[in-house]
Amino acid sequence: MLPYELIQSPSELRIRVNASSLEELFRRSLVAMFEIIEPDFAADATEVSHTISIKSADRDLLLIDFLSRALYLSDINDEAYFKVDFIRFTNNDLTAVISGNKITGFDVEIKAVTYHEVHIKEKDSIFSTEITFDI
């Protein structure tokens, strides 16, 4: 099982993410989002971390809100995140520490994480979803 698969089109990026748990699906989605936009690391590449708390109506919205918060923090702080440690995790709220490094930019810029057709599915103990990013 691949952690994620890139599905490319001219106006958007789409990924399909698979994992053995819901937490791992969120973790892989975060890593995939930052890997596909190819960050340019700063010369000092200082390690950074932020604690975030998010509440949403359901797990689909929680995933989008989680990725959107990471993208927002990345944008305002010039950082890319590749690690997450969950302190609290339920179907509609989470508290986590996201960690990464300082960057100077990205090869591809994501404008937004969209709600388009996001639906977390579970089949045979595998969680999966597709996530679309406006570029």
pLDDT digits (tens, 9 = 90+) for 23-76: 999 999 999 999 999 999 988 888 999 999 999 999 999 999 999 999 999 999
Residue that the structure tokens 């995140």 belong to:
81
> What per-residue confidence (pLDDT) applies to 43?
87
d(CA 45, CA 79): 9
- What pLDDT does residue 12 have? 83
Full 3-state SS string of 77-135: HCEEEEEEEEEEECCCEEEEEEEEEEEEEECCCCCEECCCCCCCEEECCEEEEEEEEEC
Distance CA 6, CA 34 (A): 12
Distance of CA 33 to the CA centre of its chain: 5
Amino acid identity for residue 64 in this structure: I
- Identify residue 103 by its one-letter amino acid code: I
Domain boundaries, the chain: 4-134
Topology, domain 4-134: Archease, Possible Chaperone; Chain: A; domain 1 (3.55.10)
pLDDT tens digits for 1-20?
568 888 877 778 999 999 99
Average pLDDT, rounded, for the chain: 94
User: Looking at the whole model, is its pTM more than 0.85?
Assistant: yes
What contacts 75, CB < 8 A, 6 or more positions away? none
Residue type, 19: A
pLDDT, tens digit, for every residue of 61-102? 999 999 999 999 999 999 999 999 999 999 999 999 999 999
